[in-house]
Structure formats: structure tokens, C-alpha cells
């Protein structure tokens, strides 16, 4: 989230790697920016739950989204919005470390 004031929480070390992945997948800059904002929201939620990136799965993403809805958030992304992030995590812990190394 370079150039922004957003706090990415537990996913902070992976922002640049995720951003690169979104670019490689062809996301336009505005869409990538929205996905990075969602990554920050998820990362802060994970910090509150004391959850590490390696623990992230579709189940936790759905729990996060349910919590956002329960808080009355106006814009809650669909679970599919996190598919690129989950795919990056499923590539294994070494992939998470690779993203962290790009920081």
C-alpha cells in the first residue's frame, strides 16, 4: 500500500507481493487499490484475532466478511474478492515468505 496511510495489520509484509500478483493477473490500478484496501481490513481483523497469515483460509475470510456485515459496514466485498489472496496463501508458506521478501 505504498503511498497510502492505510494500516495493513498482519498482512502488511505481503502487500507488495499481493500487489504484484494483482498486476500479473491484469487487475486495473483502481481495482487493485480496492483489493489492497480489503487486504488491509482483513489484516487488521486478523491482528485482532491474533491470527497469522499462514492460518488464512476461505473459512476465515467468510468469518471476516460476516463480522463486517454485523458491524453494519456499507460496503462488504464478496468472498470471491479474496480468491487471489487465498490462492497466494495456498501456494504454501514458502510463497508467503517470498512475498514478504519483496518488501
**Sole residue written with cell 508458506:** 93
| Count of structural domains, the chain | 1
Integer Cα distance of 66 and 7 in angstroms: 21
Q: Is residue 74 part of a domain?
A: yes
Q: Is residue 49 part of a domain?
A: yes
Give residue-wise pLDDT tens across range 11-53: 888 888 889 989 999 999 999 999 999 999 999 999 999 998 8
Q: Is residue 6 part of a domain?
A: no
* Stated pTM of the model: 0.78
CB atoms within 10 A of CB 7: 12
Q: Is residue 30 part of a domain?
A: yes
Looking at 23-27, 29-33, 83-87, 97-101, which range is the least confident one? 97-101
Q: What domain range includes position 96?
A: 12-101
pLDDT exceeds 70 at position 57: yes
Q: Is residue 3 part of a domain?
A: no
Q: Is residue 91 part of a domain?
A: yes
Q: Is residue 7 part of a domain?
A: no
Amino acid at each position: 500500500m505504498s503511498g497510502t496511510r492505510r494500516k495493513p495489520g498482519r498482512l502488511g509484509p505481503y502487500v507488495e507481493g499481493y500487489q504484484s500478483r494483482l498486476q500479473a493477473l491484469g487487475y486495473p490500478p483502481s481495482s487493485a487499490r480496492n483489493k489492497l484496501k480489503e487486504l488491509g481490513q482483513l489484516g487488521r481483523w486478523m491482528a485482532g484475532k491474533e491470527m497469522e497469515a499462514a492460518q488464512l483460509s476461505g473459512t476465515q475470510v467468510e468469518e471476516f466478511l460476516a463480522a463486517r456485515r454485523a458491524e453494519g459496514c456499507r460496503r462488504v466485498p464478496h468472498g470471491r474478492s479474496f480468491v487471489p489472496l487465498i490462492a497466494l496463501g495456498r501456494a504454501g508458506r514458502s510463497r508467503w515468505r517470498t512475498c514478504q521478501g519483496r518488501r
